[in-house]
């Protein structure tokens, strides 16, 4: 990479994830909250002589599960970004701990797309780029399906055109 390309690599990635991503993240967090609430309700139903701290622990658990429902989707949407340039794929993610990852196209070994049932319901897809790196793969999560398919096609075409062995 040239010094100009390296300077460009240190800037923030240009594209946000899909505008439907916060609703997807919130729905996933609500499902997890529902599991916790059902689990607490069942345990409370069968534990008749609960000590005082069991109520406190249950309330704290529910509150801890509400943070990802209320706070996380908006923060995550503002932080998660991605970009593909002629030299590399860039991602920035995280809502508590932020990670900026750069995968040079010359090091790309595989490109995979993933779409869970919940992602399918929201029209979202994630793309994972595996590289010849000890750090491992980087993922561009929660893209619109069409954007993700185009990214997979572009990455596949660009890396196939490279004569290197991605090591």
Q: Are 149 and 157 spatial neighbours (Cβ–Cβ below 8 Å)? A: no
Query: Considering only the top CATH level, what class is 3-13+82-161?
Result: mainly beta
β 88-93/81-84 pair status = antiparallel
- pLDDT at 5 exceeding the cut of 60: no
Q: Are 136 and 109 spatial neighbours (Cβ–Cβ below 8 Å)? A: no
pLDDT tens column, 29-77: 999 999 988 988 898 888 888 888 888 988 898 888 888 899 999 999 9
pLDDT tens column, 132-152: 876 778 999 999 999 999 999
Neighbour-count burial of 104, counting CB atoms closer than 10 A to its CB (0-12 exposed, 13-18 middle, 19+ buried): middle
Q: Where are the domains of the chain?
A: 3-13+82-161, 22-74
């Amino acid at each position: 990479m040239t010094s100009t390309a390296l300077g460009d690599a240190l800037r923030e990635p240009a594209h946000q994830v899909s505008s439907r991503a916060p609703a997807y993240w919130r729905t996933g967090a609500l499902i997890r909250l529902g599991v916790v609430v059902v689990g607490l309700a069942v345990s409370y139903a069968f534990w008749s002589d609960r000590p005082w701290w069991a109520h406190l622990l249950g309330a704290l658990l529910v509150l801890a599960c509400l943070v990802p429902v209320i706070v996380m989707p908006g923060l995550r949407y503002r932080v998660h970004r991605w970009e593909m340039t002629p030299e590399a794929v860039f991602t920035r993610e995280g809502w508590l701990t932020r990670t900026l990852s750069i995968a040079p196209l010359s090091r790309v070994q595989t490109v995979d797309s993933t779409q869970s049932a919940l992602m399918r319901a929201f029209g979202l897809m994630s793309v994972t780029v595996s590289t010849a790196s000890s750090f491992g793969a980087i993922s561009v999560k929660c893209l619109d399906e069409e954007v993700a398919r185009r990214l997979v096609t572009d990455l596949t075409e660009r890396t196939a055109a490279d004569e290197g062995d991605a090591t």
